[in-house]
Amino acid sequence: MTGLTEPTGPTGPTGPTITITTPDALDAAAVRAVAAGARLHLDDALLAAVGERRAAAVAALAEGAPAYGVTSGMGALADRRLTAEEQAGHSVRLMAARAVGEAPWLEQPESRALVAVRLRTLLHPESGVSADLCARLAALLGRPDPLPPVPRTGNGAAGEILPLAHAWADLAADGLGPKEGIALLAGTPLATALALLRAEETRVLAHQAVLAAAGAIAVAGVPHDPYRPELARDDDVLAGVLADLGRRLGDAPDPTLRRHLQAPVSLRVVGPVLAAVHRAATALEDAAARALCGVTDSPAFLDDAFVGTPGFHGIDLAATAAGARYAVVHAAAVGAARVHRLLDPEVTGLPAQLSADPGPQAGLTPLHKRLVGEVRAVADGGVPLPMETSQGQEDVQSFALEESERLRVALGAWRTVLAGELLAVHQARLLGAPVPTALQPALDEVAAVLPEGADDRPRGTDLAAISALLAAGWSSPAPPAAGR
């Protein structure tokens, strides 16, 4: 793979060691901690229980029990019975033939999350893998060198066998026992891991968006009527967003100084838009929780027999990722619209286009054009159509990984829009717009990464600086999830 871009991000453990005593202990919080650099230690009693199930699975195979992908070929070749000699090396061969991906690769935190989720599923009784394999997976998270590159796109399989074949290259090279190859390739561990990371990223951006929107509301000097907490009634999610917004805004502007009785829609709908984002993140987290607990092996070792399952079909994860992307793209579009409103002196009472010298200087109109382009680039998207593969054996796909990637790109676009909105608020502040006291420390942090002055300059550099500030957790840690 010479010349291909290597995965980026932290390459080794940087956090604490988490002891796992039951499969359930490797929950969403633990997976996210592993992504951030934590190590895992598997309790001896847990490994002993895994070993007992492994012994039962091996005994069943020795008695001649048929098992898809263990005693047979895969896909359209599932009816081909393997000889004892062929079965011996089958787990390793499964990886080599399916490693057909290439760059772009997952970032290392994403790969670490994948290892953690895969380990969670292998610790379930129905996996039938060895305690040694589970210990080797845990050991991967403690080594200082990078995990193997895993492609983030190009998965046209019914499950995730293509990227997973890359993920376990090192394990396969060191040898795998019967059923361990198919167990490593089964289920939706990557979509599950990415769902957990994307949901957290979505919540952080939603929290940051409250501050950006509060800044825009303050600059526009619009009435605070749409942000009254009682408008939420029994909607706890909306109530949480409005309460956060209210804390940032402080007192409403003097009615005698208002320029307009009613604000443009983009400024009025902050609460419902961000509440929808929080709900979408919750749905994604819930789908990931179901996947963590579900039976994902196929075949699964249940009641001392190997049975086929549909646990590889990640429609739950795909649908919730698509729903989150819809909410995120809408939030980005609304944010870009707010920036456009801030360029209008009829809305803000500030110089046209937030220019330090309207006419000779353009101000932020070019910035708004950039934000419109960002939104347009992620606005398309429908339901992916299934296509037959494996000679018709796989005649439908969920495309959960592709939906996760589209969500990741949409989140990146929203972060750019938020950076643009904060840049517009900063520029308005330089031009004399007042901002609430509660917002000033956060906006001071934005100002600290920007050059001084309000004159025209290449604003792409400004956007990049604020985007990096957001990605580093500006204004974080986020408050508890609204309505949770």
The pLDDT score that the predictor gives to residue 3 is: 30
Architecture of the CATH domain 17-186:
Orthogonal Bundle (1.10)
The pLDDT score that the predictor gives to residue 154 is: 86
The pLDDT score that the predictor gives to residue 257 is: 63
Hey, where are the domains in the chain?
17-186, 195-471
Q: What are phi and psi of 103, to 5 degrees?
A: -60, 155
Residue 385 burial class via C-beta count within 10 angstroms: exposed 0-12, middle 13-18, buried 19 and up: exposed
The pLDDT score that the predictor gives to residue 285 is: 97
Q: CB under 8 Å to 219, separation ≥6 — which residues? A: 342, 348, 350, 424, 425, 428, 429, 433, 435
> Which numeric CATH code is attached to 195-471?
1.20.200.10
The pLDDT score that the predictor gives to residue 4 is: 33
**Under 8 Å between Cβ of 455 and 224:** no
Give the chain's residues under pLDDT 50. 1-11, 478-484
218, two tokens:
């303050």
For residues 81 and 68, give the distance between their C-alpha atoms in angstroms, rounded to a whole number.
9
Residue 373 vs residues 62, 333, 357: alpha-carbon distances, Å: 61, 10, 26
Q: In this predicted model, what pLDDT tens digit does every residue of 205-225 receive, in sequence order?
A: 999 999 999 999 999 999 999
Query: Quick one: which of 163, 122, 170, 118 has its CA closest to 146?
Result: 170
Q: Do domains 17-186 and 195-471 have the same CATH topology?
A: no
The pLDDT score that the predictor gives to residue 163 is: 94
Residue 304 vs residues 28, 52, 128, 310: alpha-carbon distances, Å: 29, 12, 10, 19
CA angle 469, 470, 471 (to 5 degrees): 95
The pLDDT score that the predictor gives to residue 159 is: 86
